Amino acid sequence: PSDIRSPFLVTTGKLFWIFSANVLCICTMHPVIQRPSSNSVSSPIIDGVSLRTCCLEPCVLSCFWGCEVSALQAALHTHQQTLRLTSSQHFLEALHLRFHYHETFNEDEKECHTCIPADQRITDFGPLPRNHYPLVAVLTLAETEARNLYNIMANVIVIHVPDSKYNLSARILFQYLLTAQGHMHELKPLFMSAEISGPPYSEKSSQPAEAQMEGNLVGDESDWSEEMGRNCVICQNAAVNRVLLPCRHACVCDNCMLHFQHCPICRAFVLESFSLRTTAGM
């Protein structure tokens, strides 16, 4: 695959995401809910969410509360078909004000706190399946020179925020990377061998993402361990260091990867693979 340069390193808590064979992402986006006191009648929507970011280049963080699902889909389609969404202003125009509230932060602020003003009297985003995403955060490059340097132009993050009708903890639902060529890559989870009890779940269906939210969020909240010292399922000796595509199982070491063509976990044919970390001699 061709080399893709990205200014964003994307990790979410202990979950690592990928979008192609040679790019482990580059912005940290970790939602932190401010917990109200026991006597407080406020909600996380009013109290707000703190977003921690870390980028290789100066970036702008745009937060769109209550963004319509169809508006975001239309904006992403616009990026793929006509206008490249390379700046916060481009996203603002592409969404056509179809959101409840918007604010923008410079990436100088390592932790940005965003909330819907209390005077808007918004306490929830409707029943499931919803027509609005609770929060859409968009990272774009701040400088024109950087946009000419990198292939990745924007990182779009859809975040669930608990409200009065759906109190599941805050988490990132979906992430997309937008390229200068008009492509869109959805970031996907890796499957570590020590946590696998069966084949990975199937790809998301083509139905609107928000319509899948209830089913996607009520499952297990187990985290993928940051520890990279898990043993290869083949030799049981060397550390796991290869991610197999397209199944995304991370279960073998570099040496064992050379000796088979099918994933040892699900038996899917391996089209390509990439390394989780650089090792000596590679």
Q: Can you give the pLDDT at residue 96?
A: 96
Structure tokens at 29: 């986006």
Cα distances (angstroms) measured from residue 140 to each of 88, 172, 205: 6, 18, 28
Read off the pLDDT of residues 244-270 as tens digits, 9 standing for 90 and up.
888 888 899 999 999 889 999 999 999
Q: Is residue 222 part of a domain?
A: no
Q: Can you give the pLDDT at residue 8?
A: 56
Are 142 and 204 contained in the same domain? no
User: Amino acid identity of 226?
Assistant: E
- Region of 13 (left: φ > 0; alpha: ψ -120 to 50; beta: rest) is left
Indicate whether 207 pLDDT > 60: no
Are 22 and 111 contained in the same domain? yes
Indicate whether 53 pLDDT > 50: yes
How many of the other CB atoms lie within 10 Å of CB of 206? 6
DSSP characters over 202-271: PPPPSS-GGGGHHHHHSS--PPPPS---PBPTTTSSSBP-EEEETT-EEEE-HHHHTT-SB-TTT--B--
Indicate whether 215 pLDDT > 60: no
Indicate whether 3 pLDDT > 60: no
3-class secondary structure, 90: helix
Are 175 and 212 contained in the same domain? no
Q: Is residue 221 part of a domain?
A: no
Give the global pTM: 0.67
Are 94 and 173 contained in the same domain? yes
Are 34 and 127 contained in the same domain? yes
Share of the chain above pLDDT 90, in %: 31
**C-alpha atoms less than 13 angstroms from C-alpha of 35 in its C-beta half-sphere:** 3
Are 19 and 148 contained in the same domain? yes
User: Amino acid identity of 172?
Assistant: I
Are 33 and 137 contained in the same domain? yes
Q: Tokens 């099918």 correspond to what residue?
A: 262
How many of the other CB atoms lie within 10 Å of CB of 223? 11
Residues 6+ positions from 173 with CB-CB distance below 8 Å: 133, 158, 159, 160, 209, 213, 216, 217
Indicate whether 179 pLDDT > 60: yes
Are 233 and 183 contained in the same domain? no
Indicate whether 25 pLDDT > 70: no
Closest CA to 75 of 133, 124, 141: 133
Are 161 and 254 contained in the same domain? no
Q: Can you give the pLDDT at residue 31?
A: 58
Q: Is residue 69 part of a domain?
A: yes
Q: Can you give the pLDDT at residue 188?
A: 76
Are 165 and 282 contained in the same domain? no
Question: Which span out of 38-52, 98-112, 228-242, 259-273 was modeled with the highest average pLDDT?
Answer: 259-273
Question: Before 129, cis peptide (omega within 30)?
Answer: yes
Stretch among 148-152, 189-193, 261-265 having the lowest mean pLDDT: 189-193
Residue 204 or residue 29, greater confidence: 29
Mean pLDDT score across all residues of the chain: 75
Indicate whether 27 pLDDT > 50: no
Indicate whether 12 pLDDT > 90: no
Mean pLDDT of 129-141: 92
* Boundary of a domain, candidates 189, 207, 238: 189
Number of domains in the chain: 2
Read off the pLDDT of residues 99-114 as tens digits, 9 standing for 90 and up.
999 999 986 666 788 9
Stretch among 10-14, 36-40, 142-146, 149-153 having the lowest mean pLDDT: 10-14
Angle, CA of 207, 211 and 213, to the nearest 5° = 120
Mean pLDDT of 12-30: 37
pLDDT tier, 49 (very low <50, low <70, confident <90, very high otherwise): confident
Give exposure, 235-249, as e/b (b: 16+ Cβ within 10 Å).
eeeeebbbbbbebbb
Q: Is residue 2 part of a domain?
A: no
CA distance linking residue 201 with residue 247, whole number of Å: 10
Closest CA to 242 of 229, 231, 233, 251: 251
Are 117 and 238 contained in the same domain? no
Q: Is residue 64 part of a domain?
A: yes
Query: What CATH number has the domain bearing residue 257?
Result: 3.30.40.10
Handedness of CA 143, 103, 53, 71 (dihedral sign): negative
Domain hosting 280: range is 194-216+227-282
Indicate whether 156 pLDDT > 90: yes
Share of the chain above pLDDT 70, in %: 68
Are 205 and 250 contained in the same domain? yes
